[in-house]
A and B are shown apart, each in its own frame.
Chain A
């Protein structure tokens, strides 16, 4: 088990009332598998991903990475060394080139990275489908699909085992969506990564090794 969530609770205080987004949610994930978390808008799936990726903290419960509480690891350190995050709207630095965006996490992480970081960044981009000529362009000059590939390359740049993606294909057309999903499958099955994707798409959920459905704050297996 690479990642485990235990009894997570997350709510908004609405006067005297607590409006629960997640209630006693527990789930676990293994390496080498491609997971999806399915749910409608407002179901709490993005909140769950935020807690799993330490972008936010739960009101109660814990998230264990390799059996260690991420709070103890330190949220910042956990994000820096243990996970790669992909966002629906890519969240790239618009004034930097694609390769520069990939280089950023390499300078932040404490993981071992080959010395020639620039070559590693170009190779990663090439592997994801961004050729060198495009890698040197500012990311805001690339298409949506290309930008999401750059975001995936950035998530892989620190050589982490856990990739978390929030609606990564939400802004892409069907053809591009499938290409991205194929990359995730390849990362899980060929490179042994644990890939967790939050989505509202049944098609993507059906392609995953295991899917969960989040409804009214409660997580259940989705068959």
Chain B
């Protein structure tokens, strides 16, 4: 009849009290379990969504800050460009895995047709056709492919030599290639046209044009555009995004710079007003690069931003892919906050209520504890016996509440997120170079209340520690007395 056996006998012989304790622990445990479930699920969502958003960052003009200026201030402010030196300086930071800088333009074509997807019939041209986005690159393996925005399915990526020398080679989408019967090794022609606007007729006419002949060296497929977008509110936008990406032509930066330079020079010739306006200006630069930095991990975003901000010219900001999370995770954030408050309240309530129940439970047992002490039992074993009784009941209660709390959390969060999402009108996709077709729906789809080992460990840890504290404190208060004081 050692203290362990006495502990177990105590549970079975006092069924009523054991059941009351079990019920209290089960109910409060379900609250704690539910709150931890939601906390874990929201933090998993944040982690996985941020991973999906990627670890990319770019430098952009902060128009919001600029718009805060008065008209007078705007006149006096000269916005600087992000120079190549600064891009390279930032690119050398330890947080950066690799980086690229890109200059882009839009061109049309007489010889190839743009990919229109399912919108072929609806497509109506207003003005000149500039269907192809010519995206310059400096990073030869193509950053978009490394970051899984696209995937090379045929041919090869650029060589550094092609990039440096501005060779007329291109990587186009497989869908665009299929539509125009192009294959790796074929060439195609884009037209770099300069238009004039006839104010009388209101029409635009080609003033001059030159051909850009490019050799297809590779074909890519889009990796981020969803196949089953369905009929939600974002589907139209996503179709356009898909179409733009399918009509993107990757070329070395030098090609784009050359085409931009041609356009500029031709505009000066054809547009007198423009030429007058530009007279006396420094020689125009055609190197308006958009930088893109891929960081080692999404978690580096904040530190990267802190280090880069002081290097930037006025009115520039760092935009990270993970920033998008904040704009689409509204329901998740409110859920996370709610669960945090519930968790704190539940732990406090559990300590107080369990402490009170155990105290009442022990008040009846005070004499019994005195008897054990009078028989020479050590204080440690007396505490141990009661702890066994309480902890065994707690373990059963916590195990049951693990499942019930998880179930309740799943039901409650479903209801709350649906309600929150219905009330939210901010379901807008953040638009920038870093744009990924991720919506609030996606975030909510990633949300999953489930039992994982980490959650189970945290819950048992918090649960048992709470019960342990609320049992040991009154127990120690009793057994520190000498047996005479307890018994007489």
Contact = CB atoms under 8 A, between A and B. Distances in A.
B460 interface: no
A108 B368 contact: no
A93 B368 contact: yes
A76 B368 contact: no
B210 interface: no
B487 A91 contact: yes
Task: Give the secondary structure class of B's interface.
Answer: helix
B1 A106 contact: yes
Interface residues of B, number: 27
A104 B376 contact: no
A148 to B, nearest CB: 15
Interface residues of A, number: 29
A50 B373 CA distance: 13
Interface stretch (B8-16, B100-108, B148-156, B392-400): B8-16
B462 to A, nearest CB: 32
B375 to A, nearest CB: 5
Contact of B488 (A46, A81, A108): A46
Interface in B1-58: 1-3, 5-6, 9-10, 13-14
Contacts of B327: none
A105 B484 contact: no
Interface string B457-488: 00000000000000000000000001111011
Chain B CB count within 10 A is highest, among A85, A117, A154, for A85
Contacts of A117: 1
Nearest to B482: A56
Nearest to B371: A91
Given A95-B10, A104-B372, A108-B376, A87 B2 contact: no
A96 B10 CA distance: 9
Contacts of A106: 1
A79 B374 contact: yes
A96 B375 contact: no
Contacts of B487: 55, 87, 91
B165 interface: no
B186 interface: no
Chain B CB count within 10 A is highest, among A78, A103, A108, for A108
B482 A80 contact: no
A117 B5 CA distance: 15
B230 to A, nearest CB: 64
Contacts of A57: 482
Contacts of B3: 107
A92 B374 CA distance: 11
A76 B374 CA distance: 8
Contacts of A56: 482-485
A76 B1 contact: no
Contact of A95 (B13, B374, B376, B484): B13
Contact of B375 (A95, A100, A104): A104
Nearest to A108: B377
A154 B372 CA distance: 12
B340 interface: no
Contacts of B1: 100, 103-104, 106-107, 117
Contacts of B89: none
A210 interface: no
B160 interface: no
B104 to A, nearest CB: 83
A123 interface: no
B378 A76 contact: yes
Contacts of B378: 76
A105 B482 CA distance: 18
A96 B9 contact: yes
B183 to A, nearest CB: 88
Chain B CB count within 10 A is highest, among A46, A79, A106, for A79
A55 B483 contact: yes
Contacts of B368: 93
Contact of B484 (A55, A76, A78, A93): A55
A91 to B, nearest CB: 5
Nearest to B378: A76
Given A56-B483, A95-B10, 5 more contacts: A55-B484, A91-B371, A104-B1, A104-B6, A117-B1
Interface of B: 1-3, 5-6, 9-10, 13-14, 367-368, 370-379, 482-485, 487-488
* Closest 4 pairs (CB-CB, A-B): A80-B376, A79-B376, A95-B13, A103-B1
14 contacts: A50-B488, A55-B483, A56-B483, A76-B373, A79-B374, A79-B483, A91-B374, A95-B13, A96-B13, A100-B1, A104-B372, A107-B1, A107-B3, A108-B377
